[in-house]
Amino acid sequence: MSSLNLDDFTDLIERPDGGVRRDAEARRERQIVPPGALGRLDDLGEWLAAAQASVPVRPVTRPRVVLFAGDHGVAELGVSTRPAGSARELVRAVLDGGSPVSVLARRLDVPVRVVDMALDCAPEELPDEVVRHRVRRGSGRIDIEDALTLQEAEAAFLAGVAVADEEADSGTDLVVLGDVSVGGTTAAAVLVAALCGTDASVVTGRGGVAIDDLAWMRKCAAVRDALRRARPVLGDQLQLLATVGGADLAAMTGFLLQSAVRKTPVILDGVVSAACALVGQRVAFRAPDWWLAGHNSGEPAQAKALDRMAIEPLLDHGVGVGEGMGALLALPLVQAAAALAAELPEEQPEPKEPKEPKALDKPEEPEEPEEPGNSAAAG
């Protein structure tokens, strides 16, 4: 039995400041570019102002990419183009600067943090700052066994909370959240199907690097079997993460909820972060107000989760590589919205023409009395 009470997050999480958002909207109406002319940039600027409780909005100057990493036992079934247990190679590429997210982060001057929660490798193979939160080596095969014990799920969740606190305390003002995993999209599809009450085929996609039809059928079967195991524990979100999630997903869920507590805005990446956000919404219904969806990854489970949370992706470029890449592409858009909201000048009221002063009415001078000698009637 877990000692962690997730219901506490319902009371701890507040919505972004509605009064500040109204002030931001009023300020936007006074700016020289007509309201609505900037499209979603207007909404983004106002959302960020409310999240920061600041009008004008402050620039986003200290963003950070945070990636939670793990291997999933379900990958043994051939549900991914990558072999089971190979997420370590992806992490190594990120750390060495050779992955797509590393290249883009370098260009945008955004630091990248990788948090190993359940990679299937010896911890000595990676730097200490990467592995210090690890819960276990690999997560269980969710079609036939639990991904984690309940105690491991709690430890992973609390690790995510701790990472969110570390980022907030260090001054991070916006997080780009992603995952580095093999088999993670399968676990994410199970979570979304369970929480949305749909069948396996509705949520099963082909992953970041598209799998063939045979692998897709294997993935559907794995999601179907795991879904049967998930339904009995739907009422307990921590048990759900232990049963069909994984250490990286449990940590991401804790991270998202604590980021909302700390009022740190987050850009979600693909289906894995969307699935964790959906679990977070079940825990605390106000939490999604602190999150944006960076892009449409093409995964049906992501679309289902975002629709359930009423979050619309910012971009749709067909990027399916994962690792926070799609969310990082959306960061300049958010920064642009902040700059426009803060720096566009306000219209100056037209000067009024001075009115001519009214002349004071002079009192009528009294008529002088006529002299008698001048009278026409005289003599």
Catalytic choice (129, 154, 323, 371): 323
364 is catalytic: no
The residues pairing with 68 across neighbouring beta strands, listed in sequence order, are: 115, 179
What is the spatial distance between Cα 177 and Cα 268, in angstroms, rounded to a whole number? 5
Spatial separation of the C-alpha atoms in residues 149 and 159, rounded to whole Å: 15
Report the distance separating Cα 244 and Cα 227, nearest Å: 8
Q: Letter for the amino acid at 156?
A: A
Could you give the CA distance from residue 165 to residue 22 in angstroms, rounded to a whole number?
A: 29
Q: Which of 276, 273, 265 is nearest to 295 (CA)?
A: 273
Work out whether strand 266-268 and strand 63-71 pair parallel, antiparallel, or are unpaired: unpaired
Six-digit token string for 157: 């969740």
Contacts of 226 (CB under 8 A, 6+ apart): 74, 142, 143, 186, 187, 190, 244
Report DSSP state, residue 100.
Answer: H
Beta bridge partners of 234: none
Q: Centre a 10 Å sphere on the Cβ of residue 372 and count the other Cβ atoms it contains.
A: 8
Q: Do 49 and 41 touch, CB atoms closer than 8 A? A: no
Amino acid present at 209: V
Residues 6 or more apart in contact with residue 55 via CB below 8 angstroms: 20, 23, 24, 27, 49
Which is nearest to 296 in space by CA: 265, 266, 271, 323?
Answer: 271
Helices 247-261 and 184-196 pack at an angle, to 10 degrees, of 60
Rounded-to-integer distance, Cα 301 and Cα 198, Å: 10
Task: Give, in order, the Cα–Cα distances in Å from 35 to each of 31, 99, 231, 285, 343.
Answer: 8, 39, 46, 30, 15
Catalytic positions are 323
